[in-house]
Amino acid sequence: MDNHGEHEPQPSGSFWRTRTGFTFFAFLAVAALLLAYEHRVHLFAGNASLVLLLVGCFVMHLFMHRGGHGHGGGSGRGDEK
């Protein structure tokens, strides 16, 4: 007799190889294409000010970490003078 009530566990594979993962990836790809199409003017117009702002933020972040202070470097006690 076959036990139809019991299910054998399926081997766990990558999420992206499942039907749900593939559907999610396809949805993300379509969403990215539509977003790029709707904002193509902003992407390809050569907005130098936006690029300079983003590069400036990145460079400033690098220079701020160069001093060795890093994220959360303070002791938090407030008794330093």
Q: Which of 18, 39, 80 is nearest to 26 (CA)?
A: 18
- Range 39-65 burial, b when 16+ CB lie within 10 A, else e: eeeeeeeeeeeeeeeeeeeeeeeeeee
Q: Which residue has the tokens 């590069």?
A: 55
pLDDT of residue 43: 67
pLDDT of residue 25: 92
62-76 per-position pLDDT tens digit? 888 776 555 565 555
Distance CA 59, CA 77 (A): 30
| First and final C-alpha spacing in the chain | 81
5-63 per-position pLDDT tens digit? 566 656 567 887 899 989 999 999 999 999 888 887 776 676 677 777 888 888 888 88
pLDDT of residue 71: 59
